[in-house]
Structure 1
Amino acid sequence: MYIREETLDDLLNNIYSKLLKKRNKITASKGSFKEITGVLLHLKKPRARLSRAEGKGKLFSCLGELTWYLAGSKDLKFISYYIPTYKKSSDDRKTIYGAYGPRLCGKGRNAQLLNVINILKSKSTTRQAVIQLFDAKDILKPHKDIPCTCTLQFIVRAGKLDMFTSMRSNDVFLGLPHDIFAFTMIQELVANCINCKVGEYKHYVSSLHLYEINFSQAKKYLDGGWQKQTEMPPMPFSDPMPSLAILLECEQKIRIGDNVEPDVLLLDEYWKDLVRVLQFFRFTKFEDENHKVDSTLNKIVSDVYKTYLLKRKEDKAIVPQPHPSQLEILGID
């Protein structure tokens, strides 16, 4: 099956409709599900990687998972800060065996992202720019989590970088939005590293499935109707690696509670906004830091992100903090 759409929301609408109409359910260890096999999803606008639907706008967890990958980490504490359900996927309560980070951005032969960038720089027409995430050793003994993604491939044609992902299995409700976000961000990173425009994104899945526990949520999503098409701002067209290194350093500091001042960082506003999004997540996660929410929100440059921040603030029911001048008027010291 081939499904071609402009945005992530267009893809989700199409896929949910097809899956919910299917009659047969399959029973597995993680629950019953409906499935389509052999599906190629074609996203024409890779920057339209975020859902605009209420309840599907996973900006914070998507960005958190991306930084986990690019930091080369398999640490459970790191990713469960953003996605607590990852705790169920750990064999030892400390790490995630199937984590993409060490396979994608590790050392030596596992520095695969850096390796494909170098290959593309040396020979732009190559068909060897392939990252392997699923490994033969992954099925030698049982693990709670093994990679669902088999390969990532990058091909430059007509001056644009297209990306092709191959997956053995994909949960369309929880996994797909995160996967498309992370992989298209990586596509844009690679494109900028090799001074190339971003092309289109294609995502092949052997088993694309929707669990029964999410049927009602998928129906609610479809009932929400048409979503406004919005793309993330383009990444600054320059070598992104120095800026990425600063972003990853800031992410770690924010996550452990250290102070970060985005305004003084030697970064383009694109990257500063991502730092502010990470800050906003922390400030809304911990009640003792809620007073910093409004000031962070006001500094966000991109209106694309503000929608998600305002929704999270509303969900957390954070009461706006009065300005110091208002406290003086009220007689509060």
Structure 2
Amino acid sequence: MFYASENHIDKLLRLTYARLLSENPQNNRVSSKKGTSTEVFGALLQLTDPRARLSRAMGRSILFSAVGELAWYLAGDNTIEFISHYLGKKYAQFSDDGGLTANGAYGKRIFLPRGASQWSRIISLLRARPGSRNAVIQIFSNDDAARQSNDIPCTCTLHFVVRNNALHLHTHMRSNDAWIGLPHDIFSFTMFQEMAAAELGYGVGTYQHSVASLHLYDDNEFGPSRTLANEYVEEGSFEEIAMPALPSGDPWTSAKEFLSAEREYRNGNFSFEAASSLPNYWMDLVTVSKLHSMMKAKVRSDQYEEMISQLHPCYRVLVLDRIDRWAGSEDTAFGILRDF
């Protein structure tokens, strides 16, 4: 059993990777269809400040892919085309229908059908009975266990509780890839937690991430996971900056505006302007999605500097870091961004 509790994602990840990289006798060596990994069977990770969900490390700069995955979930989408825009073409290998849809897509299971979803149920329940222990969203189902699929959900349940006037979330995973999956999962699930807290009118409590099989793959065709994790641990401490607080009140009007803007940019309509009334919190996420799509499309524009300068500091340094790495890559099309 492995337990770690920290107030920032970087501290939590460093402890986790250090354990998986160690020669601890309780670590398991496991072979699976994705390769050989080092596993801790039974882990509980606690993030005491769920807003401190973005790593500040160069090697863990997942801002664009995390925001993109969040949009995919909130939209209730299950198409490979959408998520591949952020996570790359390799995601198609997890499709059961030739790269069109993802069987295990969480958003469709959580947020659809609108008005009668699992999300709507837990919000209604906690409004009526704040002390309830039944506000559980089930993602992994009996049907998943019975079918042959390339994409079986790793997440089993999201369990929301109200305690001491704060909304806490306990997530349980059957399996979690510590290098790629873990930081993305914590980002999205703590965003769900904060959105639910705002919708219900509570403060944000702690986030607990329980995993049966928490594992770190050896370097293989999917990527140098073990090498990168070791480099990350050796990189040392980073500036701890949390995301700003989500505006109070129902977040869905703003979230829908964000999703509309994200869709326009993903489809190449870079002239689209989100509503000026959109709170800064959501406008930043709109800008992050626009920056990603414009850079992915290799658009030359004089908008970059102004867009980046208006971002909250918690995003700005991560965007600049990604730009710096892209600009220094073999793809000289990103040389237009070197001056930033």
Alignment TM class, shorter chain as reference = over 0.9
AA at the equivalent of 2:61 = G
Tell me the equivalent position of 2:222.
none
> Is the Cα–Cα contact under 8 Å of residues 43 and 201 in structure 1 kept in the other structure?
yes
Structure 1 SS opposite 2:58 = coil
> Is the Cα–Cα contact under 8 Å of residues 16 and 222 in structure 1 kept in the other structure?
yes
RMSD: 1.8
Task: Go from structure 1 to structure 2 and tell me whether the alpha carbon gap of 1:169 and 1:13 turns closer, same or farther (over 3 Å shift).
Answer: same
Percent identical: 40
TM-superposed CA distance for 1:175, in Å, is 0.2
**TM-score, with structure 1 as normaliser:** 0.92
Matches within 5 A, 1:32-111: 32-84=36-88, 85-92=90-97, 93-107=99-113, 111=117
Tell me the equivalent position of 1:288.
299
Quick one: distance in 2 between partners of 1:306 and 1:143? 39
- Structure number with greater Rg is 1
Question: Deviations along 1:142-168, whole A, 9 cap, x unmatched?
Answer: 100110000001100110000000000
Question: Deviations along 1:97-129, whole A, 9 cap, x unmatched?
Answer: 111111011117971112111111111111111
> Is the Cα–Cα contact under 8 Å of residues 283 and 293 in structure 1 kept in the other structure?
no
Question: Is 1:186 aligned to 2:192, yes or no?
Answer: yes
> Is the Cα–Cα contact under 8 Å of residues 59 and 228 in structure 2 kept in the other structure?
no
Question: Is 1:261 aligned to 2:276, yes or no?
Answer: no
Quick one: distance in 2 between partners of 1:321 and 1:50? 23
Tell me the equivalent position of 1:130.
136
Quick one: distance in 2 between partners of 1:80 and 1:321? 23
Aligned partner (choices 314, 319, 322) of residue 304 of structure 1: 314
Quick one: distance in 1 between partners of 2:198 and 2:316? 25
Counting matched residue pairs gives: 321
Deviates more, 1:22-31 or 1:39-48: 22-31
Gaps of 5+ in 1: 323-333
TM-superposed CA distance for 1:25, in Å, is 2.1
Gaps of 5+ in 2: 220-224, 328-333
Quick one: distance in 1 between partners of 2:276 and 2:211? 40
Quick one: distance in 1 between partners of 2:301 and 2:152? 37
**TM-score, with structure 2 as normaliser:** 0.90
Task: Go from structure 1 to structure 2 and tell me whether the alpha carbon gap of 1:122 and 1:221 turns closer, same or farther (over 3 Å shift).
Answer: same
Tell me the equivalent position of 1:29.
33
AA at the equivalent of 1:10 = K
Quick one: distance in 2 between partners of 1:210 and 1:109? 38
> Is the Cα–Cα contact under 8 Å of residues 76 and 109 in structure 2 kept in the other structure?
yes
Question: Deviations along 1:264-288, whole A, 9 cap, x unmatched?
Answer: 4321111111101111111111113
Tell me the equivalent position of 1:9.
10
Task: Go from structure 1 to structure 2 and tell me whether the alpha carbon gap of 1:31 and 1:290 turns closer, same or farther (over 3 Å shift).
Answer: farther
Task: Go from structure 1 to structure 2 and tell me whether the alpha carbon gap of 1:58 and 1:288 turns closer, same or farther (over 3 Å shift).
Answer: same
Deviates more, 1:252-261 or 1:190-199: 252-261
